[in-house]
Amino acid sequence: MVLVPTLDVKDKSMTTQQDQTPDAKHTKSNHEAAARRSKAFGTFMLAALLSVLMLLGVGVFLLSAPNPGTATSAAPSASVNIKRPENVVALIAPRSVIDVDLLRDFETESGASVELVPYDNEESLLSIAGSTSLNADVILAAGTTIQQLLRNRNVGLNVLPARSIANLARIDPALRTLAKKYDADGLYSVPLAWTAIGLGVNRADIISRLGASQKLDTWSLLFDPVIATKLNDCGVYSVDASSLAFPSALLALGLQPFSSTPNDVERASAAWESIRPKVTRFDTRILAETLATGKACLALAPASEVYRARAMARDAAQSVDLAFMVPPDGTLLRMYMLAQPRGAQNASRGAMLIDYLLKPEVSARMTNTHWVANAVPASQLYVRQEIKDDPIIYPDIDAFRRLTPEENPTPAAISLRERFWQLMNSGGSPPP
């Protein structure tokens, strides 16, 4: 920000010097005119050289500075390195998984205070981590985000102090094995919860527009422009997250969901571009509300948000027939994992918080409130029966195989899809 006015000041100075160049019409002799012209030329060349050097410096600064295009308004605010009191634990977590009510007992038991910093999309967290260290003691994030943080020299993660987290032993061994997809050593993070990504549908609204013979468990509801046009008037919504939007489009196209090839990224971009005018809004935070109030008849959303919408509608006596659909082509599985950033100020209390969240009764409360499956089998004693028996939240083995755990494509592919997503949301054209 300082360089812009500095450039303005320099330019004015240069203009002043050139304005002072003597006019040949007012010289009294050829020698005096030549001398003055020579002096003015020397001054001009010196100013020009300084300007070039200054512009080169600005260019180097801009190339080394973080890309402003990746910033997002939903980014966590705990990125500023402010010293916290010893009894305060900072937790960065998805808004849809952890809330303050879940943390009250921990505060009572430990005497510590939890500073909860919620975020809506993994892209928000990564945009902050890309430019500064994360000022938190515990992070709850998607497995793909954990993997990127492990690779980020600016952030990094601490090895979890296993001796201080007794409830690590309660985690489902199968999920710990699956989590090694993101943390190969299994030392820096542990799974806490997971949910599927698919289609939230208002069955009555869709059938009234498409007919009773229309299949609801198909990606065509969203990615077929003809069908999407017929649903436009009843509200089509989507998560505002390229990390979920692109794999979903690739699944709909019958391609590998985490392909890094430019052609596949371009095809997914074209799929979204074809339906962009039909999408009412891209906004992760309001998905549950719009489904619950009948403002949306179709949404690309986590299963947990669709179930939360159903509960909200029931509590408000809204007569909406909501369901979560997993297309036969499969869908995504997002795993949420706990970790401690390298810059944690209160690491010991952070370990206590991780241990608390892995308690069976606490994990069950999280599941009962936020409709996410948890990684602690012993919690089933406290999970509501309707959730335990739900084949979407806790699928059987065959249904689980239709869920594809998230993966990180190459950095180049991530950058390309984020560029497109930003352009699409701003009304621009997709990148070449």
Quote the tokens at residue 91. 């937790």
What percent of the chain is modeled with pLDDT above 70? Answer: 79
What tens digit of pLDDT does each residue of 13-71 get? 333 333 344 444 444 444 444 444 444 444 444 444 444 444 344 333 333 333 333 33
In this prediction, residues 74-93 reach a mean pLDDT of 74
The overall average pLDDT reported for the chain is 83
Find where tokens 């020299």 sit: 153
Does an H or E element contain 195, and which? strand 189-202
Query: What secondary structure letter does DSSP report for 113?
Result: E
| Spatial separation of the C-alpha atoms in residues 416 and 260, rounded to whole Å | 10
What tens digit of pLDDT does each residue of 355-372 get? 999 999 999 999 999 999
List Cβ neighbours of 404 (8 Å cut-off, separation of 6 or more). 247, 251, 257, 330, 331, 332, 333
pTM of the model: 0.80
Query: What secondary structure letter does DSSP report for 120?
Result: S
| Spatial separation of the C-alpha atoms in residues 204 and 68, rounded to whole Å | 43
What tens digit of pLDDT does each residue of 95-126 get? 999 989 999 999 999 999 999 999 989 998 88
What tens digit of pLDDT does each residue of 174-204 get? 999 999 999 999 999 999 999 999 999 999 9
Give the CA dihedral 359, 363, 366, 367, nearest 10 degrees: -160
In one-letter notation, the amino acid at residue 422 is Q
In this prediction, residues 300-323 reach a mean pLDDT of 95
| Beta carbons of 364 and 382 less than 8 angstroms apart | yes
Per-residue confidence band for 397, with pLDDT thresholds at 50, 70 and 90: confident
Burial string for 204-230 (b: 16+ CB within 10 Å, else e) reads ebbbeeeeeeeebbbbebbbbeebbeb
What percent of the chain is modeled with pLDDT above 90? Answer: 69
Quote the tokens at residue 281. 């809004």
In this prediction, residues 7-17 reach a mean pLDDT of 31
- pLDDT, residue 132, reads 61
Per-residue confidence band for 379, with pLDDT thresholds at 50, 70 and 90: very high
Q: By three-state DSSP, how is residue 243 classified? A: helix
Q: Is the pLDDT of residue 8 over 90?
A: no
- All structural domains of the chain: 90-194+338-411 (3.40.190.10), 196-332 (3.40.190.10)
**Lowest pLDDT segment from 39-48, 251-260, 288-297, 387-396:** 39-48
